[in-house]
Structure formats: structure tokens, C-alpha cells
Structure 1
Amino acid sequence: MKAKLGALLRAIRSSRHITIKEVAGKAGVSSSLLSQIERNRISPSLDTLLQILEVYGVTPDKFFKDYETNSRVEIIKRDDRKIYQRKGFKYEKLCGDSQTRGNHSFNAFFLELAPGQLRGDAGNGHLGRELGIVVKGSAQLVYGEETYEIQKGDSVSFFSQIPHVIQNSSDQIFQAYWVVTPADGEDYFGEKTS
């Protein structure tokens, strides 16, 4: 846990494009202390951590929420993937549960649509963004009032707020890797049937 704390503090500072010296001056700590914290040589006291977070404009609850959700690697073996299946479509969940929580959450899955089947909602969108990479077949993406053809080898990305539907209008299986962010509040899978 100590190693992850320093790395996260360094990442926050780097993302704000400020130097160790600037942060140290505003937080009332020495540059060498902050450097040692970021390199995981020492752990900060709670008071020091709160001072640093105040400089970054990050609340403690947000910091610890991100710290918790970013603190582990999850590997899902091929045979251990959760599979959600309905008539004509199938999802294989690719990401671990810790990735579906927090401010930078996402859902990743392998999508399969039988010929003639569709997924999505032509009347409503949802918050977030989506990225799909087609690995087999072709389909139509109806995005608002526009229709796009996507086929094997194509990637597609879009804001999810616009109503959208993916329809397999061919006579072959359509397969794609799909990533949706954020994950919170959306039910992509429904109930497991197999």
C-alpha cells in the first residue's frame, strides 16, 4: 500500500503540471520530504497528507476512493469470464469488478450479436463514452439520426448521451470488443442466463 500511495500522489502532481517545490511551499513541508513521500521512502503523517491534498484541490474521500479502486490488478482467465446471454446476443465481461467503481470506472466486454439482432436504445442515451473494436462480421451503428456501417477491423468511438443502437444486419455473427465509461449506473448485462 505504501508504494501505491506515493505513486498516486506523484501522478496527481504531474497531472497538474506543478513542481515538487511549488507543492511543498504551498503545503508547508520541505521539498525533500515530498520527494521522499512520492518515492515511497517514507509515509506521510495524516496532517501532511491532508495539506498536500488541499494544495491539489482533492478531497480526502475522493483521494481514498481512487486509491482503493486503483490499487490492484485483476486478471480474468478466459474460462472464468462471466457470460451473460439472451436470445440473439451474448456479453463476456472482460474487466474485474474493481474497474466498475469509482470516478474512472469502465465496463469492458466481448459482444456477440446473432444475425438480425440489436443492442441499445433508439430513444435514450446514457452518460459516458464508448469504444468498440470489430473482430468479426459487420453491423450498423444507428447514432441519433445517422447510420454508420462498421465491419471487421474497424474501431468506433462516440459520446453515449446520443441514443444509439448496434444492429447486426448481416447473415453472419457480429463480434466486437466494447468498452463503456463510466460504468456506474448502467446495466449492460441484465440477468445471467448461462
Structure 2
Amino acid sequence: MPSKRKTTIPESSPEAINENLGKRVKKLRNDRGWSLEELATASGVSRSMLSEIEREKANPTLTVTFRIARAFGLTLQELIESAEASASKIQVIRASDRAQVYRSDKQHEIRTLSPLNLEKDVEFYEVNLRPGGALRSQPHFEGTREFLTVELGTVRIESGTDIEDLAKGDSGTYRADVPHAIVNTGKEDAAVFLVVIYR
């Protein structure tokens, strides 16, 4: 599994705020019964820019955000905080989201079930192995362990010089700070759920 840690995006960062600012601006505008033209006149921000912001296609500067806040009679902080507050605290990863596919080739497909935008001490994956397929990994950070549950088929776990065979419903945990592998030992596809824990 990947040993490169992901970059954290703090909840109060511009990236996180912009994801919800558009929805907040649109709600405030609709609550007042304003058209985009009316908000443009009140704020001094162009109609096209406002449309882009509401559709979350633009990352407004602080100056633009300040003008929008002032048009609604809010401070910049109040507008930003209200945008943050409107954000859902539930992150959903849909089965159809191909962006979550970490790797796919003739031997296996790896889909990450963890949010991509967070640095994590724990990562969660779904791994599908073709017959004869193997996922071989170099050592991760010292102290890293992996936990695996077999959902379908039979697999062999290799961790350093240790080897164990697992069947459907079996689970195993092993060191991942040494060379390690998950190998499909059956004649059909194998599927496992894999948790990587960094220490």
C-alpha cells in the first residue's frame, strides 16, 4: 500500500470554505429574494463571478468575499463562519467514484475507502485480486501494521519471512514495515478489506 502520506486540508482553510461558500451565498441571496443582478449591484462583484461562486467553480479572493459579505450586512468573519457551519460533517464516498481508485491493472484493483483530502494515521482500502494476482509492497514507515479481512476467495499474506493462508471471513494482522504481500492463491477473484495503521 502507499507509504506517502496525504496533505491535510484544515476545515477552516480557503479550500474547505470555498466548497460551502457558494451554497451559503446562494441561500442568502434567495432568502432576500435577490436576483444575481441585484446582488451584483449591491456588492460590486460581477454577475458572472457571482454565478461562478454559487456553482463552486471559482475561488473568490478575500476582497471579493468581503464585498459579498458587506452586501448581506455581514462581516467577512460572519460569512465565512456561516459557510463553515453549513458544511456537512458526514463525508460520503460513492461506489461509482472512480477518483477513489488508487491503482488498477491486470493483477489487481485498489480502491481507497478513506477521504482523499485528509492526512490519516489510518487508511482503509478495498483490494480486488485477479487469479494469480499479487499486491507486493516495500516497507512502510517503522511501526506500520496492516489489518486484513477476506471478503471473497483465498489469499496468502507474506510479511518478511512469515506466511499465512486466509479464506473467506478470515482476518489477519501483520507488520508492514518490512516487505509484505497479499497473494490470490485461488482460481477465482479474491477481495479483501485492508486497513493500514501508521504509528
- Cα deviation 1:85-142 (Å, max 9, x = unaligned): 112100122111244x1xx522211100011111114xx4212111111100001111
How much does 1:80 deviate?
A: 2.0
% identity of equivalent residues: 23
Cα RMSD of the aligned pairs, angstroms, is 2.4
The 1-side partners of 2:114 and 2:124 are apart by: 6
1:74 and 2:91 correspond: yes
- Cα deviation 1:130-179 (Å, max 9, x = unaligned): 11111000011112112100111011112211221111121111101111
Runs ≥4 in structure 1, deviation > 4 angstroms? none
Scaled by the length of structure 1, what TM-score is found?
0.51
SS at structure 1 position matched to 2:96: helix
How much does 1:72 deviate?
A: 4.5
In structure 2, what is the equivalent of residue 173 of structure 1? 189
The 2-side partners of 1:73 and 1:129 are apart by: 27
What are structure 2's unaligned runs of at least 5 residues? 1-10, 12-87
1:89 and 2:90 correspond: no
Q: How does 1:1-194 map to 2 (within 5 A)?
A: 72-81=89-98, 82-83=100-101, 84-99=103-118, 101=119, 104-121=120-137, 124-127=138-141, 128-182=144-198
Query: 2:130–2:190: 8 Å Cα contact kept in structure 1?
Result: yes
* CA distance 1:159–1:145, change in 2 (3 Å): closer
Q: Which entry has the higher C-alpha Rg, 1 or 2?
A: 2
Instruction: State the one-letter code of the partner of 1:159.
Output: R
Aligned length: 109
The 2-side partners of 1:72 and 1:180 are apart by: 23
SS at structure 2 position matched to 1:97: coil
The 2-side partners of 1:178 and 1:72 are apart by: 24
In structure 2, what is the equivalent of residue 48 of structure 1? none
